[in-house]
Structure 1
Amino acid sequence: MRNEGDAPEKSAGQGAGQGSDQLPGRVLVVGASASGLSTVEALRRKGFAGGITVLGDEPHVPYDRPPLSKQVLSGAWEPERAALRAQEQLTSLDAEFLYGETAVALDVKARSVRTASGREAAADAVVIATGVRARRLAGQDDLAGVHVLRSLDDALALRGDLVAGRRLVVVGEGVLGSEIAATARMLGLEVTLAGPLAGPMALQVGPVVSGVLAGLHAERGVSLRLGEGVVGLAGAGGRVSGVRLASGEVLPADVVVVAIGGIPATEWLADSGLTLDNGVVCDAYCRAAEGVYAVGDVARWHHEGLGRLLRLENRTNATEQGMAVAGGILGEDRPYAPVPYFWTDQFDAKLQVHGFLPADAEVDVIEGELAARRFVARYRVGGRVTGVLGWNMPKQTRLARQEVVDGLEAAPAPSH
């Protein structure tokens, strides 16, 4: 096991890009995800004319995940609208998309992947884009009415229960749980948001903004049962009837959503020889081994600006990392060291975050006012700006991003 911050060592003679002057003739992407599609599109934009195969474990064309907890769940969008590209656009990529093919093993030396159906696919470069799977509570699969929300099918199943239900309990006060609570409340359900932290998205935005978000949810009728852990589910006749708190109290529910984070989908790589530790561990070029790369939610790579390993679960990173990996496959010598960015929409609030928002950061408002729910907040650690958060102030937030860039460039050089 390597220490935190370490990354895979380069093989003898391996450069920063593909590892030799010879470019690959074929690329295999495992995961028909946003990051996988971004990799394919970037390869074609950069002039790669070789063969490309994409394995997807779902029956759907690549689709966008952020709308699942909002537009798709609310019914504002038909499911097809979540598709990332029209079929003719996918066809124009001249790539082989194989759907319903779940990867079960990777031979790193041969750069070949075996699927559950017995199919074998090999290439000169392999890109792992298998994302994460939703964490679950013990016993939830034995009760009807308990959902996770990761896939398009998950969103449609949950919507079916919300339309028929009256009382929803969301377990998990993070970004996804908070979004689901807001969407369900706008559909007219009685909604309770439960979790161990003090406020919605407290881990992602810190106590100051979390407090403002809590006020918004409470004002819109969400019951906040936060600061206490969930220990299990209650059921009757094979269907969920409530959520059990650590105190023993049971929150009544017709429908429950478990939104307690994701686990990198790396089980299929257990015998591959790759370093697996909260994701596929990669170097600064998102390379896990010679000719093998990882992108998106499953990738844990060495961020040179921070001097440590980093794994991000957001839509922007999926796109940008896919583009970076395409460049690496084609021999570009550029470490991937982005300023992270994510956003969330809840009720009439749009929050946009650039950089990192540590829980111990000093927070000050540089534009607008917290009480007006229209502001830009700056996060500093040791006098250095690590992140900015905008609430319904997109233009001002983009301008403030430069302070994060400057702060990252001024970060202490990583120790070796």
Structure 2
Amino acid sequence: MRTVTVVGASLAGLYAARELRAQGFDGRLVIVGEEPHPPYDRPPLSKDFLTGRADQDRLALADAEETAELGAEWLLGVRARGLDPRGRTVLLDDGRTVSTDGVVIATGASARRLPGDDLSGVHTLRTLDDARALRDELSRGARRVVVIGGGFIGAETASSCAALGHDVTVVEAAPLPLVPQLGAEMAAVCAALHRRGGAGLVTGTGVAGLRGRAGAGAERSGHQGAGAAGPRRSVTAVELSDGRLLPADGVIVGIGATPNTGWLAGSTLALHDGVLCDDGCATALPQVVAVGDVARVGGTRAEHWTSATEQPRVAVRNLLAGRTTETVRSVPYFWSDQYGARIQFAGRRHDGDTVRITEGAIERGGPAEGGLLALYERDGRTTAVLSVDRPRPFMRARRELSRAADPVEPAAL
């Protein structure tokens, strides 16, 4: 290969570029990024950046020296609009084309939106520009904030808003937030962090619509078209599916993300909630691999920091070899900082697993002071581990899980 193009100047894209050089590729390296910013770290956006404890400079993933050492052509602020695998060409929105011998797809995902969320005061939080716009609005004074979605982004953003002194309510359609990830028992324990942090939590009901105001009176979002004349309306309330109204000066929509695969339509690549890959991040085309949030590797699409940093090494090895010579064998891991507590989880939880608390305890429905460590077990074997503020024993348990592809005996942990 003489030219490799990484489409996506993301965490996964940067790690892929690093791996290309580390694994001996010395040809032309092109990195295409839709955002105008160089690669930056996204997890702090909902935490330190939103609360003002970190500025943009601290988000950078590579300094000037490393960027120069990569020797890449950076095409930032331009979106890829097509891939021609036969002609081995990446088509860009501005009309340019990039001829290439290999492609690493790392275009990530975009925040899902609600119908009618064009009201002023309604935000998603996925990009640096999203976070900057939300931080500017929150800095204007105390506000009634409704966070729609109790997943990681929603919970972390709610935590930051509460820390800034805002009146926060989290709305979650499921009976509890994070049930798919943690199971009902431990999801209930972590849900108690909202109450402890001073935020309200409304569960088991969805959102019927957003209400906005332009001048006098309020009306449901969507009744006035986005192209209608007049000033942009501001959000005033969230209408729940059970008929309740939650007054809101600001709304944050955190209802998941959609993989950015639209630009690949017509490319012959298999697409289904991501780019379909084998266990080695390789697509059906030998010169194309995918990594990060956009990649469905071995049937699973994992929107976690660790996936974006671990997959590129294997993907690049297989890209340069022209076939799958290695597979991804990491144990899933994620963490979340909420209301001053750090939640860490590793492994694969399945319905029917039992939960055993080995350190700490539950008090008043939430983790006791000092946190807790819980093991998920099935047939006498440990499948996953959850920690709230117990980092050292968690890391020991995670290492044991990582030493083998199969679950390990609880005694070993």
Q: TM-score scaled to structure 2, two decimals?
A: 0.89
SS of equivalent to 1:310: coil
SS of equivalent to 2:139: helix
Aligned partners of 1:69, 1:38: CA distance in 2, in Å? 22
Opposite residue 174 of structure 2, the aligned amino acid is L
Deviation per CA, 1:147-166, whole angstroms, max 9, x where unpaired? 00000000000111112251
1:184-223 map, 5 Å: 184-223=161-200
Query: Higher mean Cα deviation, 117-126 or 349-358?
Result: 349-358
| 2:301 pairs with one of 301, 308, 311 | 311
Change (3 A) 1:77 1:300: same
Unaligned runs of 5+ in 2: 215-232, 409-413
Opposite residue 342 of structure 1, the aligned amino acid is F
Opposite residue 349 of structure 1, the aligned amino acid is A
The answer to whether structure 1 residue 160 and structure 2 residue 125 are counterparts is no
The two structures, once aligned, show a CA RMSD in angstroms of 1.6
Aligned partners of 1:322, 1:276: CA distance in 2, in Å? 19
Please name the residue that 2:384 is paired with. Answer: 387
- CA shift at 1:209, angstroms? 2.1
SS of equivalent to 2:147: strand
| 1:296 pairs with one of 288, 292, 300 | 292
Change (3 A) 1:110 1:385: farther
Deviation per CA, 1:34-78, whole angstroms, max 9, x where unpaired? 000001111112222111100000000000110000011111111
Please name the residue that 1:324 is paired with. Answer: 314
Change (3 A) 1:325 1:259: same
Contact 2:282-2:319 within 8 A present in 1 as well: no
Contact 2:382-2:407 within 8 A present in 1 as well: no
Please name the residue that 2:127 is paired with. Answer: 151
- CA shift at 1:323, angstroms? 1.8
SS of equivalent to 1:140: coil
Please name the residue that 1:176 is paired with. Answer: 153
Deviation per CA, 1:9-43, whole angstroms, max 9, x where unpaired? xxxxxxxxxxxxxxx22110000000000011111
Q: Tell me the percent identity.
A: 43
- CA shift at 1:106, angstroms? 0.4
Deviation per CA, 1:351-400, whole angstroms, max 9, x where unpaired? 11111233542111122223325121111244443211111111111111
| 1:261 pairs with one of 247, 256, 261 | 256
Query: Higher mean Cα deviation, 395-404 or 99-108?
Result: 395-404
- CA shift at 1:205, angstroms? 1.6
Opposite residue 322 of structure 1, the aligned amino acid is P
Q: TM-score scaled to structure 1, two decimals?
A: 0.88
Aligned partners of 2:305, 2:34: CA distance in 1, in Å? 19
1:217-232 map, 5 Å: 217-232=194-209
Structure 1 ranges of 4+ moved more than 4 A:
none
| 1:375 pairs with one of 366, 372, 377 | 372
Please name the residue that 1:119 is paired with. Answer: 96
Please name the residue that 1:21 is paired with. Answer: none
Contact 1:242-1:250 within 8 A present in 2 as well: yes
Aligned partners of 1:79, 1:404: CA distance in 2, in Å? 35
Aligned partners of 1:312, 1:234: CA distance in 2, in Å? 34
Please name the residue that 1:356 is paired with. Answer: 348
Aligned partners of 2:175, 2:401: CA distance in 1, in Å? 27
Aligned partners of 1:246, 1:359: CA distance in 2, in Å? 28
